[in-house]
Amino acid sequence: MFGVLLAATTLACHAPLPQGPQVPAPVVLSTGCGRFVLSRGGEVGRFRHRAQADQTAVSLRSRGTQLLVRRNRAGRIFVLRHRRLVWRSHDLYPNDGGDIAFGPHAFAFASYRRGIFLTDLDGPERLIVRGRGLYPYDFDREGRLIVSAHGTIDLIAPNGATLRRYRYRQRNGFAFDERTDRLFFITPRGVLASARGTKIHLARPLPKVEGTISADQSGLLGGMHDITVIRPDGALVARTTWARSPRVSSDSGVSASPDGKAFAVRLTDAHPGSRSSTATVYVLRAGTESPQGIYRHRLGPSGCAVGANLSWHGRFLLYSSTDGREVVLDTTNDRAIDLTQLARLLPHRNRGEVVNVSWQSDFESEY
């Protein structure tokens, strides 16, 4: 019986490929049978990539070099590059995983019960910050580690010394922009702040702003009921709210266009377990307060998770919803190119399999 099932799966994965619609840029669709690329003209082919990422490992990019982090059942941590061992931990950390961060010839990882460990990838790890619930976030250009805890951000030197501590308003979070080497957050008193190393600059008061900040072409503060876009100096770029419609909320974050002049968001009345709901994709443009609805559809029954992915390519937006809807949207004329049927017709190993869809340019930069 197993042999029959295996043969059937093999035949299904080698089924003829369907024709797709024309798209503004190549799109990669991934199923259990492999990865497929939809060309601009609508032809579908099998995606050939010179390096396939290991799906069982955590993949991170460290200064342009792909590193893989693994941990075995005993709790030993391994760092690999191109499947070759770079470093292994001296101690074991069973059932005690946490966040990790790579810096200039440095690797930091958290043990929830013990604290933050650091290694130069040549020698054993050292405990540099003691405490529970600490998270290594990133390294700055000088090799100093950014560590977050509840309401605080610490800048840690390689020797473990705390160089500076910043306090931030937890409901807004914080973000680190690698391009400018700056940390952005809102202080407990509601002031937008940017810090570079141990120096801090207070930009402007933002006492009533909700949502979580993210570092992008513009500063983004996106909550469940509003969006505020600000520049690093605190100047307002765009803002909108839908607080008067309490039944709908944003469930997929905010996605900024490459030029930082348009911002996409999905509003929906869906919630885990809902049987019927609707979702609408809006675009908010710089200098405006009224977002433009560009795509609306009904959602089927929702499981434990709802949401969508919104990714830009020029003026086009790739919308991928957890209910299986896959659409390319032209944000200038509301034209929609539906890829849902194509995703269903591709070879699958299992019925009901989730198809992952992304721009080819994004896929190649990730893997």
pLDDT in tens, 315-345: 999 999 988 899 999 999 989 999 999 999 9
pTM over 0.85: no
Over range 165-172, report the average pLDDT. 92
Residue 55: pLDDT band with limits 50, 70, 90: very low
What's residue 53's pLDDT?
37
What's residue 61's pLDDT?
40
* Contact present, 348 and 47 (Cβ < 8 Å): no
What's residue 321's pLDDT?
92
Per-residue model confidence as pLDDT tens digits over 229-262: 877 777 778 888 876 777 888 888 888 898 888 9
Residue with tokens 């605080």: 152
Strand partners, 107: 102, 119
What's residue 352's pLDDT?
74
Q: From CA 225, how far away is CA 241, in angstroms rounded?
A: 6
If one counts every other C-beta atom within 10 angstroms of the C-beta of residue 310, the result is: 21
Secondary structure in 3-state letters for 135-156 = EEEEECCCCCEEEEECCEEEEE
What's residue 346's pLDDT?
94
* Torsion from C-alpha of 214, 216, 217, 219, nearest 10 degrees: 10
Structure-block tokens of residue 320: 């991928």
* Contact present, 291 and 235 (Cβ < 8 Å): no
Q: Which residues of 109-133 are buried (b: 16+ CB within 10 A; e: fewer)?
A: bbbbebbbbbbbeeeebeebbeeee
Q: Do strands 236-241 and 249-256 pair parallel, antiparallel, or not at all (unpaired)?
A: unpaired
Residues contacting residue 19 through CB under 8 Å, at least 6 positions apart: 42, 43, 44
Per-residue model confidence as pLDDT tens digits over 27-54: 999 998 999 999 999 999 998 764 443 3
What's residue 222's pLDDT?
57
What's residue 293's pLDDT?
94
In the chain, domain spans: 242-361
If one counts every other C-beta atom within 10 angstroms of the C-beta of residue 240, the result is: 16
Identity (one letter) of the amino acid at 188?
Answer: P
Residue 100: pLDDT band with limits 50, 70, 90: very high
Residue with tokens 């931990």: 89
Per-residue model confidence as pLDDT tens digits over 9-32: 455 788 899 999 999 999 999 998
Q: From CA 33, how far away is CA 17, in angstroms rounded?
A: 12
Per-residue model confidence as pLDDT tens digits over 280-311: 999 999 888 889 999 999 987 666 667 899 99
Q: From CA 342, how far away is CA 41, in angstroms rounded?
A: 14
If one counts every other C-beta atom within 10 angstroms of the C-beta of residue 3, the result is: 7
What's residue 319's pLDDT?
97
Residues contacting residue 6 through CB under 8 Å, at least 6 positions apart: none
**Measured at the alpha carbon of residue 222, what is the angle toward residues 217 and 225, in degrees to the nearest 5?**
150
- Would you list the DSSP string of 32-76? TTEEEEE-TTS-EEE---SSPPPTTSEEEEETTEEEEEEE-TT--
